[in-house]
Amino acid sequence: MGAQSTAWIDLYIHLHAQATPAHDLPARQININEYANPEEQIPSGAAWWISRLERYDALWLRGNRLRGWSLHDLLANLLTKKANPHNYNATDYVSAPEFQVYNYYNLNMTGSRVETSGAGDRLFDIYATVDSNKVRMLAGAHLCTGHWTIRVNHMNALGFPSEGSVSI
């Protein structure tokens, strides 16, 4: 996987932007059905997808390719079970690691969405919001590890120093 596997979304957005006025179609919000293959459904993958889809202002529905009872029992793999997630009769549910990313996104990424741009290789992306005194960022890599730099501009507008760095 990598940049090639994610290029479809950029191509789709580009083609949609061209086709809409060319065919006199009404401008509508894009709806992505079933994003994220199973191997992408990990915490960093969730952050990457959220960042990318928010940038495109798209509506989205996470893919659920489970089968049988696990299709609904594990809430699209956002839940797991302490002892054995494959035991249908078990009721010891806990949140799966990826769930925490969606929970943070839902509860904390408040305020106004700010302009962000992902890495040129499409392997890293970031989503950010700002309100009167906080900047929140959610960043993730797409099925890889590495080092990326996040540059934040205009922090002095919120009373922070205009220059500096933070190690994560």
Burial of 49 (0-12, 13-18, 19+ CB in 10 A): buried
Do residues 150 and 138 touch, judged by C-beta distance below 8 A?
no
Instruction: Work out how many domains the chain is built from and give that number.
Output: 1
Supply the range of the domain harboring residue 132.
3-158
135, part of any domain: yes
**In whole angstroms, how large is the CA radius of gyration of the chain?**
18
10, part of any domain: yes
165, part of any domain: no
Number of alpha carbons in the 13 Å side-chain half-sphere of residue 136: 17
Give residue-wise pLDDT tens across range 100-147: 999 999 999 999 999 999 998 889 999 999 988 788 999 999 999 999
Could you tell me the pLDDT band of residue 9, with boundaries at 50, 70 and 90?
confident
State the pTM of this model.
0.87
